[in-house]
């Protein structure tokens, strides 16, 4: 038998012994009967005799996975990730709701902007405040508080009778989003076993993008309702919020927070509950020791943020965490998602409804490729995944920019400048090309198609209530424009190069979603020592939301000054700087225990290179089981 094969059999038999449970094995060790009982176990297992080692190995692997990952930790993660779903749903649903609201409530542009950005602004504030709450009250009360706010916010929004109430509801929802966005990743990371932590925390981002996709579908479906569709859109989020609230009444507090607060008995109970049939002594001791150590290192004087800044490892971790979140937003994800309908329209989709549904396809792409991230995070590790993702994202942004540039260069000229029958002195009549006309928020482009050529073109003021039609002329409403064969383009220009932008959009999502979307959240949940974890996550989540508002609010102005392609070139530039930053500063945290990660930030300003531990989880398993088995490299990398 080759060495490799004999190692495999040795491993299989030894893993099988673990099937018998910790207590029994220890007893056998004490009595010196371990070897014999291994054979007894093999004898009593029919598969070893009838089908060789195959079934045995499979059984051992199954047991290994069950031992390492009791189902309860998945329940905990999924209920927590409902917070991510609500984050995604509430930030995503508003664009569709706004289309209906602005007509029914007669909202000005300022009010529309207020209703969208108030939520993100409130999220920034509550994410920052969430650090103190998390540290003082614990993770569980914060998640309960967030789901309570989501529920109340949804109820206010669904019942709102005027725009002021709507604003109130959006602020309450935003406060919930902020707290959930910083608490949920921390809670999952603290409950998860090291070898699965990345995957479980990334599930939260999967739920965020899932929420965004679901919101896009709900937007599409309720847009057909003649009245009050927005009430359903905004109110529906109460369902997952109530579910999460009820679930968390029964779910435990984070064991690490409990140990930190000296609630040792409760902590032991929770650890036993989430680790299933494994012994928890070693994990408990290692958390306890590291808390004692941390208390010495972190000192006790002054606010935590001050202590984090003066202590080099936490200062570096904070820099990496906030930098990742900043570059996630500077790479323009939310503008790309928000303007996906425009990009699609540029690519020739001139039906509004179809554009809404295609925007749902965009959100679905974001969701599906985040799923790829869930799978890749424990295979490639955080560092490789983030670097690969951001490289692709940068290239995609360049393709997008190029698409807009080509479209602008072949932008159709204005051939007709009709006189304004309303006698208003509009700026629209001054533009001689579509690309200028489209960038003015007050104007749109009215044109006809003759085969592939664009003819009979005018730049006309947009209707003051809806951007779907012009204020007057051939595109004043659907009936008139259909009879005339004219098409109304608001915010885009018809060109034959628009496929480049579409290609850029697809590329962008395929690359961004598995890495740059989830990794900033995942990495932040694990790089701070316990005493600094709440504050570190509060700061980095705050940075995420602040840059989210900044990028979304400035996009239209940036596009006005720099044009669309200029804006996307700018994002590509940011993404490139982000790439250098991540290359130099992001260490690999895959497979490490939370308590070990601080050491990665100890010596260098920035930590290059990955410290992969593919076999780490496996060897750790054997170690926790108290065995001294030798594992060949082959065994270790073989196990899934």
Q: Enumerate binding residues for ligand INS (CB under 6 A).
A: 205, 208-209, 212, 328, 333-334, 366, 517-518, 544, 548
Closest CB to ligand INS among 328 and 540? 328
Smaller CB separation from ligand INS, 205 or 486: 205
Nearest approach in angstroms of CB 494 to ligand INS is 29
Min dist. Cβ of residue 171 to ligand INS (A): 19
Residue 52 Cβ vs ligand INS, minimum distance, rounded to whole Å? 47
Alpha carbons 602 and 167: distance in angstroms, whole number: 46
Q: In whole angstroms, how close is the CB of 281 to ligand INS at the nearest point?
A: 37
| β 453-461/443-450 pair status | antiparallel
**Among residues 328 and 345, whose Cβ is nearest to ligand INS?**
328
Q: How far is CA 147 from the centre of its chain?
A: 18
CB of 359 to ligand INS, least distance (A): 13
Inter-residue contact 612 to 405 (CB < 8 Å): no
Cβ of residue 378: shortest distance to ligand INS, in angstroms? 18
- Residue 479: Cβ-neighbour burial (10 angstroms; 0-12, 13-18, 19+): exposed
Question: Given the complex with ligand INS, which of 326 and 475 has the nearer CB atom?
Answer: 326
The count of other CB atoms within 10 Å of the CB of residue 181 is: 29
Burial class (CB in 10 A: 0-12, 13-18, 19+), 351: exposed
Cβ at position 448, least distance to ligand INS in Å: 37
Q: Among candidates 347, 337, 328, 353, which has minimal Cα distance to 544?
A: 328
* Angle subtended by helix axes 139-159 and 163-191, to nearest 10: 160
614 contacts 637 by C-beta, under 8 angstroms:
yes
- For residue 284, give both structure tokens: 């408990």
- Least Cα distance to 282 among 631, 18, 621, 29 occurs for 621
CA angle 443-446-449, nearest 5°?
A: 150
The nearest distance, CB 1 to ligand INS, in angstroms, is 50
Find residue 105's DSSP bridge partners: none
SS3 helix, strand, coil % of the chain, rounded to 5?
A: 75, 5, 20
- CB closer to ligand INS, 209 vs 290: 209
Burial of residue 130 (number of CB atoms within 10 Å: 0-12, 13-18, 19+): buried
Nearer to ligand INS, 53 or 181 (CB): 181
Of 248 and 367, nearer to ligand INS (C-beta) is 367
Residue 216 or 304: which CB sits closer to ligand INS?
A: 216
CA distances from 112 to 86, 100, 135, 633 (A): 21, 11, 36, 59
CB 41 within 8 A of CB 20: yes
Using the minimum distance from each CB to ligand INS, give the nearer residue, 45 or 553.
553
Nearer to ligand INS, 298 or 518 (CB): 518
Whether the CA torsion 615, 617, 623, 629 is positive or negative: it is negative
In angstroms, what is the minimal distance from the CB of 72 to ligand INS? Answer: 26
Measured from each CB, the residue nearest to ligand INS is 517
DSSP state of 458: E
Neighbours of 50 (CB within 10 A): 8
Smallest CA-to-CA distance from 81 within 229, 223, 215, 185 is with 185
By beta-carbon proximity to ligand INS, the closer residue of 210 and 412 is: 210
**Minimum separation from the CB atom of position 467 to ligand INS (A):** 23
Cα–Cα distance, 211 to 483 (Å, whole number): 40
**Closer residue to ligand INS, CB minimum distance, 81 or 333:** 333
Rounded to the nearest whole angstrom, what is the least distance from the CB of residue 252 to ligand INS in the complex?
26
Q: Which is nearer to ligand INS, 143 or 333 (CB)?
A: 333
CB of 123 to ligand INS, least distance (A): 10
DSSP letter, residue 224: T
CA trace torsion 524, 530, 532, 536 (10° rounding): 20
Distance of alpha carbon 390 from the chain centroid: 15
Rank residues 329 and 407 by Cβ distance to ligand INS and give the closer one. Answer: 329
Q: At what angle do helices 352-380 and 194-222 cross, to 10 degrees?
A: 180
Cβ distance to ligand INS smaller for residue 222 or 369: 369
CB of residue 91 to ligand INS, shortest distance in Å: 6
Distance CA 482, CA 469 (A): 12
Q: Say if residue 359 is exposed, middle or buried (CB neighbours under 10 Å; 0-12, 13-18, 19+).
A: buried
Considering the complex, what minimum distance in angstroms separates the CB of residue 102 from ligand INS? Answer: 22
608 DSSP 8-state letter: -
Q: Name the DSSP letter for residue 471.
A: S
The nearest distance, CB 114 to ligand INS, in angstroms, is 20
Distance of CA 332 to the CA centre of its chain: 14
């Amino acid at each position: 038998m080759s060495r490799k094969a004999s190692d495999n059999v040795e491993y299989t038999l030894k893993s099988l012994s673990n099937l018998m449970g910790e207590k029994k094995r220890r007893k056998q060790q004490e009595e010196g009967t371990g070897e014999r009982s291994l054979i007894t176990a093999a004898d009593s297992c029919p598969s070893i005799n009838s089908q060789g080692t195959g079934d045995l190995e499979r059984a051992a692997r199954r047991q290994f996975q069950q031992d390492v990952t009791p189902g309860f930790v998945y329940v905990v993660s999924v209920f927590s990730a409902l917070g991510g779903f609500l984050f995604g749903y509430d930030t995503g649903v508003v664009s569709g709701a706004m289309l209906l609201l602005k007509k029914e409530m007669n909202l000005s542009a300022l009010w529309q902007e207020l209703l969208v950005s108030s939520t993100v602004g409130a999220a920034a504030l509550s994410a920052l405040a969430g650090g103190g709450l998390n540290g003082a009250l614990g993770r569980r009360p914060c998640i309960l508080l967030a789901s309570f706010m989501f529920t109340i916010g949804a109820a206010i929004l669904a019942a709102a009778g005027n725009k002021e109430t709507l604003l109130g509801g959006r602020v309450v929802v935003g406060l919930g989003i902020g707290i959930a966005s910083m608490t949920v990743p921390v809670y999952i990371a603290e409950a998860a076993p090291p070898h699965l932590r990345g995957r479980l925390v990334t599930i939260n981002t999967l739920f965020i993008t899932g929420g965004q996709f679901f919101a896009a579908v709900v937007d599409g479906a309720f847009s057909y309702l003649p009245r009050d569709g927005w009430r359903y859109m905004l109110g529906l989020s109460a369902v997952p919020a109530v579910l999460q609230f009820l679930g968390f009444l029964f779910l435990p507090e984070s064991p690490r927070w409990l140990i930190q607060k000296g609630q040792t008995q409760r902590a032991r109970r929770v650890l036993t509950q989430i680790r299933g049939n494994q012994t928890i002594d070693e994990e408990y001791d290692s958390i306890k020791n590291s808390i004692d150590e941390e208390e010495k290192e972190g000192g006790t004087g002054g606010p935590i943020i001050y202590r984090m800044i003066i202590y080099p490892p936490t200062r570096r971790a904070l820099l990496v965490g906030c930098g990742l979140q900043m570059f996630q937003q500077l790479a323009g994800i939310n503008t790309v998602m928000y303007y996906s309908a425009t990009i699609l329209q540029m690519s020739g989709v001139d039906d509004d409804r179809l554009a809404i549904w295609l925007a749902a396809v965009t959100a679905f792409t974001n969701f599906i490729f985040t799923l790829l991230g869930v799978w890749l995070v424990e295979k490639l590790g955080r560092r490789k995944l983030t670097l690969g993702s951001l490289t692709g994202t940068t290239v995609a942004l360049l393709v997008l920019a190029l698409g807009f540039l080509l479209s602008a260069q072949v932008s159709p000229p204005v051939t007709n400048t009709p006189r304004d029958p309303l006698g208003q002195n509009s700026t629209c009549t001054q533009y001689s090309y579509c690309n200028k006309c489209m960038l003015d928020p007050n104007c749109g482009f009215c044109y006809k198609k003759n085969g592939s050529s664009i003819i009979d073109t005018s730049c006309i003021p947009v209707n003051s209530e809806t951007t779907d039609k012009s204020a007057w002329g051939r595109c004043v409403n659907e009936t008139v424009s259909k009879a005339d064969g004219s098409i109304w383009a608001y915010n885009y220009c018809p060109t034959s190069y628009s496929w480049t932008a579409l290609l850029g959009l697809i590329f962008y999502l395929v690359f961004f979603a598995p890495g740059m979307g989830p990794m900033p959240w995942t990495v932040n949940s694990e790089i701070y020592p316990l005493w600094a974890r709440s504050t570190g996550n509060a700061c980095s989540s705050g940075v995420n939301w602040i840059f989210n508002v900044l990028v979304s609010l400035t996009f239209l102005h940036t596009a006005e000054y720099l044009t669309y392609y200029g804006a996307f070139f700018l994002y590509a530039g940011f993404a490139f700087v982000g790439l250098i930053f991540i290359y130099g500063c992001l260490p690999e945290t895959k497979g490490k225990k939370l308590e070990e990660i601080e050491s990665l930030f100890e010596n260098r300003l920035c930590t290059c290179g990955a410290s992969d531990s593919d076999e780490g989880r496996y060897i750790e398993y054997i170690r926790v089981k108290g065995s001294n088995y030798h594992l060949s490299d082959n065994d270790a990398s073989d196990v899934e």
